[in-house]
Amino acid sequence: MTHWSRNLISTSRGNFEVFVKGRGEPLCVTHHYSEFNETGDYFAETFTKTHKVFLVNLRETGSSEKASESYQLSMLETVFDLESIRESLGFKQWGFAGHSTGGMLGIIYGIYYSSSLRYNINVGAAAREYMTFSTDCIYNRNHPQYNRMQELNETLKRADLPQEIRNEQAIERTKMSLYDPNRYPEMFSLNITKKMSGIRMNYFNRELQIYDVTRKLKFITTPTLILCGKHDVQCPLQYSVEMNELIPHSKLVIFNESNHYPFLEEKELFSKKIEFFLQE
């Protein structure tokens, strides 16, 4: 597997570290609190055969700009950063694809800058806070695995965590979000390593409490593909159904044998659905 090429993009809002791979139309991929490197990302890798993918390290991750004010870590400010990167790269439009909190950024991006997006691909995301009202969500206090998930998240935020323990706990955390955890070694077989940004995750956990953009979804004019695993424990399916009902020109695809990672759990079907959408 070829590595991603590292670029430092100078923008009106500072410098951002961006990893690039593939050929074709430009596609922006990011996640709200992941820190990427030259090994790339499983979700982003899905698109590299058909697109030139720009995998963005957001503010406070990798060698990207730091936040001088805490509000710069918010979802809206993050979208302003992505727009400044698009402008610096000289694209009139690009596509956006986001998984989980990356998909949430895609929703905000679509609300405020539909004209900058050729299309918007959202996987396992939500347009509002998804923990309080859904006991299917692993972040809901009544979910049987809630306590263990909290422990793992807190441990993984630690910068001083020995790599061996980090790897073990990251694997355990991921397995909790798979339809068939026994397939983990087969699905996550590439040499891809990434970290979690504690500062970004902490800010997100605050912002999430008041996050609800459902009434603004009607402003998204870009073609939007919403994909979700039927058994998603992080952003349960009901939130993808809701987005599909409220976003004009959107299409929903449900993966019956997937949890939070349909792009790995039902890889071939996932690729086909993306292909159909892009052809349309």
Q: What is the pLDDT of residues 164-206, one digit of tens each?
A: 898 899 899 999 999 999 999 999 999 998 888 989 999 999 9
What is the separation of C-alpha 120 from the centre of its chain, rounded to a whole number of angstroms? Answer: 12
pLDDT class of 1 with cuts at 50, 70, 90: low
Q: What residues have CB less than 8 Å from 59, skipping those under 6 apart?
A: 14, 16, 65, 66, 67, 72, 73, 77, 78, 81, 200
Look up residue 242 and give its two tokens: 């809701």
CATH no. of 5-279: 3.40.50.1820
Q: What is the pLDDT of residues 215-269, one digit of tens each?
A: 999 999 999 999 999 999 999 999 999 999 999 999 999 999 999 999 999 999 9
